[in-house]
Amino acid sequence: MYQQEIELFASSVEVSAVEVGKHLYWTIGNYQIHGQVFIVSWLVIGVLVILAFTGTRNLERSPKKFQNFMEFILEFLQDIAKNQIGEHEYRPWIPYIATIFLFILGSNWAGALIPWKLIHLPEGELAAPTNDINTTVALSLLTSLAYFYAGLSKNGIGYFSRYIEPTPVLLPINILEDFTKPLSLSFRLFGNILADELVVAVFTLLVPILIPLPVMILGLFASSIQALIFSTLSAAYIGEAMEGHGEH
């Protein structure tokens, strides 16, 4: 009997170690880092830093060309935060909302525009960072930490009164909601980006000349929408956490 239990446990461990596809790992100490995600992530971050530095290096009172475009992007991101968090409390959260939007947009576009398959790695292949569930879960957890911090900094311990409103009977459901928010954020983004890249890959294999182009354009539009949805929901969760719970 004990032998059967040991064999069952060993088989379950083997199943849990199975991976889908091949990945490039870097070993640092006792940890393994997903190398291909880090490579593309830092490329995206590098491009964003260069664009930010270039667009703000020589600011003029009357903006022209690239500075005008950068100011338009800033106003767009400010509107996202203002509409979801509130006119009087949105300013401290602009950097977070803007960073989330720009990183996700850059990652999504990197996967849709750049032919990463032409770059060969020892194992695995380069792709959009948001094509990896670990990236989307990490971003979602950051949003969870952000709205917990927002609620506690605004309302103190009274923030937890939201769990028993409008009735203590809803306590389990309100607690469960805090687990479903990051799950829905992460799986929505991961699923849409993965599906988009799979569709483009399939069309490229079947009809490699003309058909993939409109699909790629549609993918760019969908990628932009996903970045907008993620940042808007993040701002909405932060604004909801900052509401005056318990002040009746």
Residue 6: its pLDDT value, please?
44
Residue 243 has pLDDT above 60, yes or no: yes
pLDDT band for position 97 (cuts 50, 70, 90): very high
Average pLDDT, stretch 20-24? 59
Alpha helices in the chain (DSSP H): 2-16, 35-56, 65-85, 94-113, 133-155, 171-206, 212-241
pLDDT in tens, 214-225: 777 777 888 899
Tell me the C-alpha distance between 44 and 61, whole Å. Answer: 29
Decide if 234 contacts 143 (C-beta within 8 A): yes
Residue 47 has pLDDT above 90, yes or no: yes
Instruction: Read off φ and ψ for residue 53, nearest 5 degrees.
Output: -65, -45
Residue 46 has pLDDT above 50, yes or no: yes
Residue 22: its pLDDT value, please?
62
Residue 16: its pLDDT value, please?
38
Residue 45: its pLDDT value, please?
93
pLDDT in tens, 183-227: 888 888 888 887 777 776 676 667 666 656 777 777 788 889 999
pLDDT band for position 4 (cuts 50, 70, 90): very low
pLDDT in tens, 123-182: 667 778 888 888 899 999 999 999 899 888 888 887 777 777 777 777 888 788 888 888
Residue 36: its pLDDT value, please?
80
State the greatest distance between any 2 C-alpha atoms of the chain, in Å, as a whole number.
81
Residue 212: its pLDDT value, please?
62
81 alpha carbon, distance to own chain's centre: 16
Average pLDDT, stretch 69-87? 90
pLDDT band for position 50 (cuts 50, 70, 90): very high
pTM over cut 0.85: no
Tell me the C-alpha distance between 134 and 15, whole Å. Answer: 19
Residue 248 has pLDDT above 70, yes or no: no
Residue 43 has pLDDT above 70, yes or no: yes
Structure tokens at 140: 């979602």
Q: How far is CA 91 from CA 44, 77, 88, 190, 228, in A?
A: 25, 11, 8, 29, 18
Tell me the C-alpha distance between 235 and 241, whole Å. Answer: 10
Counting Cβ atoms within 10 Å, is residue 215 exposed (0-12), middle (13-18) or buried (19+)?
middle
Structure tokens at 248: 């009746």
Average pLDDT, stretch 19-42? 74
167: left (phi over 0), alpha (psi -120 to 50) or beta: beta
Sign of the C-alpha dihedral computed for residues 143, 147, 153 and 156 taken in this order: negative
Residues forming a β-bridge with 88: none
